[in-house]
Amino acid sequence: MIPVNEPDLGALELEYVNDCLATGWISSAGNYIDAFEREWASYCGRTYGVAMCNGTAALSAAVAALRLSPGDEVILPSFTIISCALAVVENGGVPVLVDCDPDTWTMNVDSLAGKVTGRTAAIMPVHIYGHPAEMDPIQELARARGLAIIEDAAEAHGARCKGRLCGSFGEMSCFSFYANKIITTGEGGMVLTDSPELVERLRSQRNLAFRPEQRFFHTELGHNYRMTNIQAAIGLAQLRKIESHLEKKRWMANAYHERLKAFDQLQLPQERAWAWNVYWMYGVVLRASAGMDARQFADRLRQNGVETRPFFLGMHQQPVFHRMGLFAEESYPVTEHIARYGLYLPSGLTISEDQIDQVCDAIRKALS
Ligand SMILES: *Cc1c(COP(=O)(O)O)cnc(C)c1O
């Protein structure tokens, strides 16, 4: 079976982790945390990094740092992971959805302005599968209406929008370093910001809202979202190799593209002229001529030794939110379409040309 993903770990990760074990710095204090925060922030052109235990926690801490009033609204794409909507709901906010673009699968910026109300506090763009959201109109709208931007760059390490790195756009920008992300810490995340005020709130959220001047005295509630020194050690080793990871992803996308462009039953990933896509995952969407949905396609590929993953299911299609009175009557046709007909192919950092050939053979069989 060709796995949908495999991390690329090596001798440097082992060396840094051994150093943590040998020196006893295994929890959330230690040099690797400081170095990883500093170096990831610097790579993305930001002032501060606050490491978190995962990307979901990073998003939650970032929304908490906005200090929403109950009922304040945050606009986010319907086509994303639940972590985005969860972060808003958890902090007393109301998630407001926009559909996605049929080609890039990122937030549809044309429907954005129509969703802004007197209660809107922030916009949360998500860079999907390595393709950046179109940041110009998002930033313009945010500036004009006084809205914060929380960027979800969990799938877009190193991606660029008009030459500028994803993760450099938001008041706060969130990353995940889960095992399938472009650089990994196993589990892990980080929020980047340039604001000294926000960085204090983020650190407080991460560490149970302990106060520096009087420990065990609390004026607000926080969480334990701390990353360990061991995780940061892996992350630092990964960061040393990020350029080769990005190269590998672009090589993979090109190899798939060359082999799959002749199949007119498949819609392939795109790269807008203003974008530098890092192809975190190589997604395909079945056209009507394929005569099946992604679930049937995935079954056939599995029978031919290829593991895949379905696309996200829309936030408005989640029973848990319907029960909360959210999104019940809403419809986002592009999201619904790609959720039903989209899946992503094996896209790991260790994938070989041979494996890509095998995947494409399996696709040929599955479609015939
Ligand atoms: C992976 C991911 C997250 C969540 O990160 P975890 O580290 O798994 O909690 C959030 N947003 C997006 C877009 C992701 O792909």
Q: From the CA of 283, how far away is ligand 1's center (Å)? A: 17
In a domain, 295, yes or no: yes
- 24 with 122, same domain: the answer is yes
- 283 with 184, same domain: the answer is no
- 120 with 37, same domain: the answer is yes
- 335 with 188, same domain: the answer is no
- 229 with 267, same domain: the answer is no
In a domain, 5, yes or no: no
Beta bridge partners of 120: 73
368, amino acid identity? S
* Pocket lining: 189 vs ligand 1, CB cutoff 6 Å: yes
In a domain, 331, yes or no: yes
What is the mean predicted confidence (pLDDT) over 2-18? 97
Q: Are 225 and 57 in contact (CB under 8 A)?
A: yes
- 353 with 275, same domain: the answer is yes
Q: How many domains does the chain contain in total?
A: 2
For residue 187, the ligand 1 atom closest to its alpha carbon is 7
**Domain containing residue 358:** 242-367
d(CA 14, CA 12): 5
- 308 with 248, same domain: the answer is yes
What is the mean predicted confidence (pLDDT) over 132-142? 98
Residue 212 — very low, low, confident or very high, per pLDDT cuts 50/70/90? confident
Q: pLDDT tens-digit profile of 160-183? A: 999 999 999 999 999 999 999 999
CB-CB neighbours of 67 under 10 Å: 12
d(CA 225, CA 277): 30
Please tell me the pTM assigned to this model. 0.98
Which residue in 251, 245, 98 sits closest to 184, CA to CA? 245
Whether 309 shows a pLDDT value over 90: the answer reads yes
**Torsion, Cα of 112, 114, 120, 122 (10° steps):** 10
Structure tokens at 217: 């005295």
- 220 with 261, same domain: the answer is no
Q: Are 79 and 339 in contact (CB under 8 A)?
A: yes
For residue 83, the ligand 1 atom closest to its alpha carbon is 10
Q: From the CA of 288, how far away is ligand 1's center (Å)? A: 30
288, amino acid identity? A
User: Of 172, 204, 239, which residue sits at a domain end?
Assistant: 239
Q: Are 365 and 304 in contact (CB under 8 A)?
A: yes
- 35 with 156, same domain: the answer is yes
- 111 with 177, same domain: the answer is yes
* Pocket lining: 176 vs ligand 1, CB cutoff 6 Å: yes
In a domain, 3, yes or no: no
Block residue for tokens 């593209």? 257
User: Of 211, 239, 267, which residue sits at a domain end?
Assistant: 239
Q: pLDDT tens-digit profile of 217-258? A: 999 999 999 999 999 999 999 999 999 999 999 999 999 999
For the purposes of burial, counting CB atoms within 10 Å of the CB of 207, is it exposed (0-12), middle (13-18) or buried (19 or more)? middle
In a domain, 17, yes or no: yes
Q: pLDDT tens-digit profile of 317-334? A: 999 999 999 998 999 999
For residue 57, the ligand 1 atom closest to its alpha carbon is 9
Where residue 94 sits, what CATH number does that domain have? 3.40.640.10
